[in-house]
């Protein structure tokens, strides 16, 4: 007879393996994703526990699933546990194992989505089912949401649900990815657990670079849009936007418990970029992105034929904005970056989705502090700022306090974790799956109980 912890670990591991094998790959097209496969799996998993389960499908195959444990008092604060069921594509050439095999090897589950974020989607489902099985009757409502389309702007998932199905998914508190990687190194020896309290905005732009067409057999002194575009790309790459020390960054660093000589340069806008040079690359990248609006040219489209000088090249640039930076500020930064080439470039398309933020000191923060300490004695939560985007933003805009969190074992480092997101050889250890499952159960009991 397995003990309780073993059977919980087996249950969440098995569910994660099946979620990975369903390969709900979202390539950004409406025909992709096929999250219906994971919705079916989760419905059959949750359906046996007497939970009230509903499905939403705004486009064929783009299914999200909601399970609720209704609270006894409608006015009591409610909690939404939200995990996405889609994953980004994986190229098997770079992997040591089948990215959609869901192999369990030496206590680790391998596969696309193992940390982003089928691990949490699975652990939230197992916690919800265990609470239902135990007859949990809280004051406030517990909602589990397995949501489609997180990996491509949330159009067919969280955005749709937040706009049209608020009765089903609206909540006082929301927890979704990611956070919770234990950070060591504090002078007091206590672990720090980062909670994502806000996230950067994205302002994706298509820049059109203009030129003059001509015969490519006589290239001398032509106005070649591709050559100009190459210089535009180089200037964007070289651009050094202003360093911004914002409140979440200040509090994150202040709460880490690191020696002053480490922290001080990272809080000084004049010294921060130089200080990144002494950090591991993954951490330096994160810290840079936390304190700067960033510009990454990612897609180029141009030219028509080998013997024609191109008159038009389109560049897609992934611009990630800090709080307070919106399209007009981005345009000014582009002008600054491009200098005398600015008038050769036109923004032909932009999608501005500004940064969002939740309060740090909240009842949800207090609850997570308490429940996390049951697993990591003496640990402290620290607020962190997500440099990517999650579905939390749709709920923050509705006024919900929304955090990215989870709990991981000490095996996984901040550095590994960052590398595996959308990277090769994504995997998670079973101990982390168990910890998160137990954390959700304890947190729901803490914040929703009378
Ligand atoms: Zn994710």
Q: How remote is the CA of residue 119 from the centroid of ligand 1, in Å? A: 10
**Peptide linkage before 300 cis (omega within 30 of 0):** no
**From the CA of 284, how far away is ligand 1's center (Å)?**
21
Per-residue pLDDT of the chain in tens (450 residues, 90 and over written 9): 467 777 999 999 999 999 999 999 999 999 999 999 999 999 999 988 889 899 999 999 999 999 999 999 999 999 999 999 999 999 999 999 999 999 999 999 999 999 999 999 999 999 999 999 999 999 999 999 999 999 998 999 999 999 999 999 999 999 999 889 999 888 899 999 999 999 999 999 999 999 999 999 999 999 999 999 999 999 999 999 999 999 999 999 999 988 899 999 999 999 999 999 999 888 899 999 999 999 999 999 999 999 999 999 999 999 999 999 999 999 999 999 999 999 999 999 999 999 999 999 899 999 999 999 999 999 999 999 999 999 999 999 999 999 999 999 999 887 788 788 889 999 999 999 999 999 999 999 999 986
Q: In residues, how long is the chain?
A: 450
| Alpha carbon of 361 to ligand 1 centroid (Å) | 25
Ligand 1 centroid distance, CA of 195 (Å): 15
Taking the centre of ligand 1 as the mean of its atom positions, its distance from the CA of residue 183, in whole angstroms, is 21
Structure token pair of residue 69? 């444990």
DSSP per residue, 265-318? HHT-TTTHHHHHTTS-HHHHHHHHHHHS-EEEEEEEEE-S-TTEE-SEEEEEEE
Separation of CA 175 and ligand 1 centre (Å):
13
Distance 383 CA to ligand 1 centre (A): 19
Helix H or strand E encompassing 392:
helix 392-396
Residue 437 CB-half CA count within 13 A: 29
Distance from residue 269's CA to the centre of ligand 1 (Å)? 30
- CA 84 / ligand 1 centre spacing (Å): 7
Compute the distance from residue 19 Cα to the ligand 1 centre, in Å.
14
Is there a cis peptide before residue 117, judged by omega within 30 degrees of 0?
yes
């Amino acid at each position: 007879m397995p003990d309780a912890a073993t059977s919980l670990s087996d249950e969440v591991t098995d569910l994660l393996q099946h979620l990975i094998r369903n390969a709900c790959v979202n390539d950004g097209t409406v025909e992709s994703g096929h999250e219906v496969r994971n919705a079916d799996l989760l419905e059959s998993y949750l359906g046996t526990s007497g939970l009230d389960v509903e499905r939403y499908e705004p486009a064929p195959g783009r299914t999200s699933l909601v399970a609720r444990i209704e609270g006894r008092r409608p006015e009591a604060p409610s909690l939404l546990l939200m995990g996405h069921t889609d994953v980004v594509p994986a190229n098997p050439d770079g992997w040591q194992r089948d990215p959609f095999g869901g192999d369990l090897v030496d206590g680790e589950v391998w596969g696309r989505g193992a940390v982003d974020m089928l691990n949490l989607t699975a652990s939230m489902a197992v916690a919800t089912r265990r609470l239902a099985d135990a007859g949990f009757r809280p004051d406030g409502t517990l909602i589990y949401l397995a949501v489609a389309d997180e990996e491509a702007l949330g159009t067919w998932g969280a955005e749709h649900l937040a706009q049209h199905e608020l009765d089903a998914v609206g909540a006082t508190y929301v927890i979704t990815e990611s956070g919770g990687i234990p950070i060591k190194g504090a002078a007091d020896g206590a672990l720090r657990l980062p909670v994502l309290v806000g996230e950067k905005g994205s302002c994706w732009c298509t820049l059109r670079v203009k030129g003059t067409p001509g015969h490519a057999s006589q290239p001398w002194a032509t106005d070649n849009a591709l050559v100009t575009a190459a210089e535009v790309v180089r200037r964007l790459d070289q651009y050094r936007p202003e360093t911004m020390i914002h409140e979440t960054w200040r509090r994150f660093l202040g709460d880490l418990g690191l020696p002053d000589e480490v922290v001080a340069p990272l809080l000084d806008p004049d010294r921060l970029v130089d200080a990144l040079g002494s950090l591991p690359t993954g951490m330096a990248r994160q810290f840079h992105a936390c304190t700067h609006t960033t510009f990454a040219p990612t897609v180029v489209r141009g030219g028509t034929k080998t013997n024609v000088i191109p008159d038009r090249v389109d560049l897609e640039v992934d611009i990630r904005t800090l709080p307070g930076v919106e399209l007009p500020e981005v345009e000014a930064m582009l002008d600054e970056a491009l200098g005398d080439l600015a008038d050769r470039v036109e923004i032909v398309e932009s999608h501005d989705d500004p940064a969002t933020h939740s309060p740090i000191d909240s009842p949800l923060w207090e609850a997570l502090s308490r429940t996390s300490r049951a697993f990591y004695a003496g640990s402290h939560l620290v607020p962190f700022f997500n440099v990517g985007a999650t579905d939390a933003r749709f709920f923050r805009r509705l006024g919900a306090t929304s955090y990215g969190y989870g709990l991981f074992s000490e095996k996984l480092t901040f550095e590994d974790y960052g590398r595996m997101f959308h990277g090769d050889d994504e995997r998670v250890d079973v101990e982390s799956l168990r910890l998160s499952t137990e954390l959700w159960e304890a947190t729901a009991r803490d914040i929703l109980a009378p």
